[in-house]
Structure 1
Amino acid sequence: MDHCRASSSNQLDYDMDSKHGKVFPCNDDRLDSGLDSLKEDAYNGIVNEMELLKMAPIESREYCNEPWKLEKTEDGDTLLHLAIIHEAEDYANQMIDHSRNDPFLNTQNHQRQTPLHLAVIMEQPQIVERLLKAGCDPQLVDECGNTALHIACKNGSLHCFSLLTQACTQQLPSILATPNYSGHNCLHLVSIHGFLSLVERLTELGADINAQEQCNGRSPLHLAVDLQNLELVKLLIAKGANVNSVTYGGYTPYHLTYGRQNAEIQQQLYDLTDYQLRELPESEAEDSDEEAVSDDDTMYDDFLWMGQK
């Protein structure tokens, strides 16, 4: 089994009820937003127009007067977006070289994707490296709140991950701490998808191993238990994860082993969890919820609808 992917390769982001262990599908980030935005014939037409533009030598150009930078599709994609989407590396390289430290490199399409986002999505590490050296901003987020590094973490893109973390040393602490709009930071994403090598690398780079995702306060260790990923549980514990961390509902990682099949995970966490935190939180809340429902029912028992109670 690949060291990078310890859990099932088709694990998706999800929402989970930490109390009852129910998994719900998550309306997740759509990462292929512009990939089919232009038909091949139309793209070839734009390529022909680019060739007619006859790019002048870099040192003699005035960036603001370059007409090809103003071209956009109905999806907001620039010619650079399109060159990356259609894997036209030579054209992409020319445009990047003619746009060093130019805001054009950070142009966002209608889904707020920059060329850097698309280069990571399309697994084009050479373009990623060239964009970073040309001065693109790695902190920009798409419409789902993902930076390019979030996408590399989610996709398990080792080469793109390495390029981004090496080039963004100053911005890296901020990027690692930033959650996307689903409440997940980079460490949560690699944990959810079971990329053990990236989990290890992120902790070495300073990612907070106990960071709580914003949905209900699960740490990476909670997520590992949710997914029944024994190897990830062991790795996180070895890296210093807090086994006594509690979700917003008061549940430790050990609590999430109840009703789960992997007895080894349960035993390991039982041994490490503070004895005062081993018992499940009192379930009186469920009873009180039922009482609240019955109270609500009686509250409106005199409500009339078309003459009937």
Structure 2
Amino acid sequence: MADFEDDINNDHDLVTDDLHCVQTMNMSSHKMATGRVSEERFDSGIHSCSLQSFRDSSLESCASLRGKTELCETVPEYLSDKLLNISLEDEGISSLSLPAVAGTQPSSVTSSAIVGTKSSNVAFIKRIVIDFAVQDKDGDTFVNLALIGGNERLACALIDMVPNVECLNIPNFLYQRPVHLAVLTKQLTVLQKLLSKNIDISCQDHQGNTPLHLACRNGDLDCVKAILKVVRERRALQCLEVRNSQGLTCLHVAARVTENKMDIVRELVISEANVNAVDAKSGRTILHYACERRDMELVRFLVKYTNIEIDFLTFDGKPAIYIAYWRNYQDIVKRLVKAGADFDYNVLNDVSQDSDEENA
């Protein structure tokens, strides 16, 4: 069995004991349900796929394919290389089921290729039609499944074949589009190809995150740069103002990460992200966030290189320096005072006493 699996992975030719070609390859879905969707879940079933039962059943049913040679050629060539030769090891791809129908004409959501096969001097010609709008039990399209499986070449080939860009904007049941999954799986090449197709870059998933939110959250500087390049080209600055379900803009998200934080914040500021934007829950700017986290590097950058409103008040009337003072972050207090922050010990003490009386 192991030898045969190597044959499948390494050989481009499939052989049959029968002259009648199998018209459709159906790969049963093995993505396991993960139960209730938690707040932190963004993966649409990534890493929950099990291929064992698929491998057992598929290899058993194909046991008769050994012993002969058969030449399989496709037009266009990439369909043969990247679609028909799917590796059995591609996680998530085991749930792909191709609706291949001989002789069916393509529509605005389908694409087709003519496949020529020769075996024992007998030639066959069939047309494979792929419906790019079809979705599996999780709402994932073929492009989604290729991304989930980490098959970059297949994903790019499918994207090239899509006849209508709207097929690339179809959400799954977590409202994730292919562009969300490309960012989540950190497949930069696929992301760039999707962005070249003029897709919607302000689309939001089930937690209100745009692709840029996810790239910032992951600290993925390359994906951030790729998306922001398109934002600047399209002058789509509204994408930078979108808030997720937690009321955060991309800049708020970037200010709370650790990996590549300053580089990402700089890229967002260069792209004209509003540094004075407030979150929807408490009215804090990213300067408030920096003071809360004692992030001196971010504080220095904001007061020196941006038009930050240093005395901006939260919904309950707190400036950033107030937050730093009551956390005893004296280094940040001094830096804000030097930058011109309005600071009055008496006012801060009065506010503190009022708060103590209310708590009592």
TM-score, with length taken from structure 2: 0.65
The answer to whether structure 1 residue 269 and structure 2 residue 336 are counterparts is yes
> Secondary structure, in 3 states, of the residue corresponding to 1:210?
coil
Q: Which of 225, 228, 240 does residue 294 from structure 2 map onto?
A: 228
1:22-69 deviations in Å (ceiling 9; x for gaps): xxxxx854222331454336555555x549679x9xxx9433345442
Q: Which residue of 1 aligns with 2:255?
A: 191
1:63-107 deviations in Å (ceiling 9; x for gaps): 334544244232211121110011112221121011154311011
Partners of 1:286 and 1:176 in 2: how far apart? 39
Higher relative contact order (CA 8 A, sep 6+): 1
Q: Which residue of 1 aligns with 2:203?
A: 140
Partners of 1:37 and 1:142 in 2: how far apart? 19
Is the 1:34–1:77 Cα contact (8 Å) retained in structure 2?
no
Cα pair distance change 1:107/1:207, threshold 3 Å: same
Cα pair distance change 1:53/1:81, threshold 3 Å: farther
AA aligned opposite 1:122: T
Is the 2:144–2:178 Cα contact (8 Å) retained in structure 1?
yes
> Secondary structure, in 3 states, of the residue corresponding to 2:347?
coil
The structural deviation recorded for 1:214 is 1.0
Partners of 1:74 and 1:38 in 2: how far apart? 14
> Secondary structure, in 3 states, of the residue corresponding to 1:110?
coil
> Secondary structure, in 3 states, of the residue corresponding to 1:279?
helix
Q: Which residue of 2 aligns with 1:92?
A: 155
Cα pair distance change 1:93/1:53, threshold 3 Å: farther
Is the 1:139–1:171 Cα contact (8 Å) retained in structure 2?
no
Q: Which residue of 1 aligns with 2:108?
A: 63
- Counterparts of 1:119-138 in structure 2, within 5 Å, are 119-138=182-201
Partners of 1:208 and 1:155 in 2: how far apart? 21
The structural deviation recorded for 1:163 is 1.1
Q: Which of 284, 300, 310 does residue 243 from structure 1 map onto?
A: 310
AA aligned opposite 1:124: Q
Partners of 2:109 and 2:214 in 1: how far apart? 31
Partners of 1:171 and 1:113 in 2: how far apart? 24
Give structure 2 stretches of 5+ with no counterpart. 1-37, 55-91, 111-128
Partners of 1:277 and 1:187 in 2: how far apart? 31
> Secondary structure, in 3 states, of the residue corresponding to 2:196?
helix
Cα pair distance change 1:97/1:118, threshold 3 Å: same
Partners of 2:345 and 2:236 in 1: how far apart? 35
Q: Decide which structure has greater strand share.
A: 2
Q: Which of 23, 41, 44 does residue 33 from structure 1 map onto?
A: 44
- Counterparts of 1:1-309 in structure 2, within 5 Å, are 28-36=39-47, 38-40=49-51, 43=92, 45-46=94-95, 49-50=97-98, 61-65=106-110, 66-169=129-232, 170=234, 172-194=236-258, 195-240=261-306, 241-260=308-327, 262-271=329-338, 272-275=340-343, 279-280=347-348, 282=351, 283-284=353-354, 287-288=357-358, 290=360
Is the 1:101–1:136 Cα contact (8 Å) retained in structure 2?
no
Q: Decide which structure has greater helix share.
A: 1
> Secondary structure, in 3 states, of the residue corresponding to 1:212?
coil
Q: Which residue of 1 aligns with 2:22?
A: none
AA aligned opposite 1:39: S
Give structure 1 stretches of 5+ with no counterpart. 1-26, 291-309
Is the 1:177–1:185 Cα contact (8 Å) retained in structure 2?
yes
Is the 1:101–1:135 Cα contact (8 Å) retained in structure 2?
no
Is the 1:252–1:277 Cα contact (8 Å) retained in structure 2?
no
Partners of 1:221 and 1:278 in 2: how far apart? 23
Is the 2:109–2:131 Cα contact (8 Å) retained in structure 1?
no
AA aligned opposite 2:251: L
AA aligned opposite 1:196: M
Is the 2:279–2:285 Cα contact (8 Å) retained in structure 1?
yes
Q: Which residue of 1 aligns with 2:63?
A: none
* Percentage identity across paired residues of the two chains: 27
AA aligned opposite 2:249: N
* 149-158 vs 262-271, which moves further: 262-271
In terms of Rg, which structure is larger? 2
Q: Which residue of 1 aligns with 2:29?
A: none
Partners of 1:203 and 1:73 in 2: how far apart? 40
